[in-house]
Amino acid sequence: MRREIAGMGILLHLLTSHCLFGQSADTTLALTPYQRQSLIDYCEQYGDVLSVSELSNVDGFTADEAKWLWESVKSTKNSTGKHRTHSLTAKFRKKYAAEGFSIASKYAYTGIRIDAGLTVDNDPMEKFPDFASGYVKYRNIIAGDYSARFGQGLVLWKAFSMNTMGEPSTLMHKQSGFAGYRSTDESNFLRGACASVHVGDKWNLSVLGSYKKENLTAVDSGNVHGYAAGANLRYSSGNLRVGLTAITYGYDRLIKRRIQDYNRLQIYDGLWGNAGIDALLSLGHWRLFGEAAIDARASPALLAGAIWSPSYNLEMSVVGKAFSPSYIATHSIGDTYNRFGGEAAVRYVSGRWKLNFNAEYYHHPWYRYQKPAGGTTFKARATVQYTLKTDAFILLQASYNAKFKFRLHTSFPAGPLTASLRFDGNMQGYAAYAELSYRSGRFQAAARGTFYNTGEWDSRVCLYEKNVPESFNVETFYGKGLGAYLLLRYTPFKYLDLWLKARHDYSAFFIRIFFPG
């Protein structure tokens, strides 16, 4: 597996130095100077980036951005590569207090011109399989299930996305076009066919068609199928990218949903649609971006922002959003209605010190999530981190989201061992853990013990936990008690990975087999 992915580390070097071509030019344009330099520094110190998880640990990249960049580089590599590979994975998960177990298995084939993927997922006590997904990609044509990311997501964004406070660069969403779908999420994808074609050196046209059964929480919805057709026309020249996106969609039968105050402007029947124009302009240390969109009722949604990164040491960003209470965009990035306000972020690095600040404020003129009309949302977070010469670090964080939270996190690496301590708390309770990790050759292990005392659900503390691959795990702790887990990975030979996680309330097993070409 290392031989296949090592080439991506080389491509990441090329990406940061503007040496790639074709659709990767958009990728290079979207990266900030800080991200490019951070990636170069990481590769020079540690060598090739070998996985999307490792990429998410590079300064300036969240998990969502790492996945976006990884898919972009992988797409470019596959279009010019001369290799064939096969990858087979299987994941099992068993909750001790519940009957049955879940299983997810994925197969991926990468060829010279053809890629393919198959995903089978089954939840406990469900008829096998309760979800199956697959695709075949030939050059820039995909048939089957696929994701789509265009513009800033106001019109079309069918893919996993994390809306969390992160680096300043994360305020701008990174489009990646079409990609074969490999997630086990049963709703956030399109099913049918899509294609992209370059028209000359500066134009790119993408078209899509989709028809699939929808999982709707509706009264008497029955077997409802959704259909969609859309297109994106993109112009890229030097430091400028402009895109036009339009999509029309609907359901094959009326949906009898209960109309309430919070959703009366989010319900439609019959044919619907959205259209928008987006732009990204790179001017020296500036990235200017935005998108304007309307729906079939001419309700608007506007987004505009800027990222300023004059050096590796400083990066600042701001974005403003004005989403009409009546704007409906079923295939958008989500949460694109009833919001007027903005977000800002600052990151500053000085020697071994790193400071981050994020804040967002929104006014909601319409009834929303059990809040009265005219309600507001305010969030803020400040983080200070100091890194020692040994790569050990100490992090202090304070945040506010309807209540105050604070965090103290420290990590001490010593050869193959790394010890971590973390304390998260609020005014009603806290959770603290100690973790020891070991990595050497074919073996990897991590053990954590957590003590929590938070009262009830409203004072809960959420902590990220390491997990088997193809899993994202944030555990919620409330009440009083102890939590623990052990994560093991063993590679008996080069192309086989075995993972086991044993937690106080469940266990998970993962196997990955890779066949090189």
Q: Sign of dihedral through CA atoms 326, 328, 334, 336?
A: negative
- Alpha carbon 170 to its chain centroid, in Å, reads 11
Residue 405 shares a structural domain with residue 491: yes
Residues 6+ apart with CB under 8 A from 309: 32, 33, 34, 168, 169, 285, 287, 315, 316
Task: Identify the helix (H) or strand (E) that includes residue 14.
Answer: helix 2-16
Whether residue 124 is contained in a domain is answered as: no
Residue 265 shares a structural domain with residue 191: yes
Whether residue 89 is contained in a domain is answered as: no
Burial of 283 (0-12, 13-18, 19+ CB in 10 A): exposed
For residues 238 and 304, what is the distance between their CA atoms, to the nearest angstrom? 21
Answer yes or no: are the C-beta atoms of 216 and 223 closer than 8 Å. no
* Boundary residue ending a domain (48, 83, 118): 83
Residue 177 shares a structural domain with residue 303: yes
Residue 65 shares a structural domain with residue 163: no
For residues 35 and 169, what is the distance between their CA atoms, to the nearest angstrom? 8
Residue 342 shares a structural domain with residue 401: no
Predicted local confidence at residue 169, as pLDDT: 85
Residue 177 shares a structural domain with residue 292: yes
Letter string b/e over residues 97-132, b meaning 16 or more CB atoms within 10 A of that residue's CB: eeeebbbbbbbbbbbeeebbbbbbbbbeeeeeeebe
Residue 416 in tokens: 């193959």
Q: In 3D, which of 438, 443, 397 has the Cα closest to residue 420?
A: 438
Residue 78 shares a structural domain with residue 168: no
Q: Sign of dihedral through CA atoms 325, 335, 158, 215?
A: negative
Residue 316 shares a structural domain with residue 409: no
For residues 324 and 328, what is the distance between their CA atoms, to the nearest angstrom? 9
SS3 for 454?
strand
Residue 345 shares a structural domain with residue 424: no
Residues 6+ apart with CB under 8 A from 370: 262
Burial of 157 (0-12, 13-18, 19+ CB in 10 A): buried
* Amino acid, single-letter form, for residue 21: F
Whether residue 120 is contained in a domain is answered as: no
Q: In 3D, which of 148, 226, 250 has the Cα closest to residue 189?
A: 148
Residue 287 shares a structural domain with residue 201: yes
SS (H, E, C) 352-371: CEEEEEEEEEEEECCCECCE
Average pLDDT, consecutive stretches of 10 residues, N- to C-terminus, the chain (517 residues): 40 42 51 70 63 67 69 56 81 90 92 92 84 93 95 91 73 89 89 94 95 69 83 92 96 72 66 95 91 95 95 92 91 87 95 94 78 82 92 93 92 92 93 95 94 88 89 87 96 92 95 86
Residue 347 shares a structural domain with residue 423: no
Whether residue 123 is contained in a domain is answered as: no
Residue 230 shares a structural domain with residue 345: yes
Burial of 414 (0-12, 13-18, 19+ CB in 10 A): exposed
Quote the domain boundaries for residue 13: 1-83
pTM of the shown model: 0.83
Whether residue 21 is contained in a domain is answered as: yes
Answer yes or no: are the C-beta atoms of 208 and 229 closer than 8 Å. yes
Predicted local confidence at residue 123, as pLDDT: 86
Whether residue 114 is contained in a domain is answered as: no
Whether residue 94 is contained in a domain is answered as: no
* Boundary residue ending a domain (83, 113, 129): 83
Predicted local confidence at residue 11, as pLDDT: 46
Whether residue 122 is contained in a domain is answered as: no
Backbone angles phi, psi at 427, to 5 degrees: -70, -15
Predicted local confidence at residue 145, as pLDDT: 96
Give the chain's domain count.
3
Return the number of other C-beta atoms located less than 10 Å from residue 27's C-beta.
Answer: 21
In terms of DSSP H, where are the helices of 17-83? Answer: 24-30, 33-46, 52-55, 63-80
Predicted local confidence at residue 21, as pLDDT: 29
Predicted local confidence at residue 219, as pLDDT: 46
* Boundary residue ending a domain (83, 107, 122): 83
Backbone angles phi, psi at 140, to 5 degrees: -110, 25
Q: Residue 4: give its domain's CATH number.
A: 1.10.150
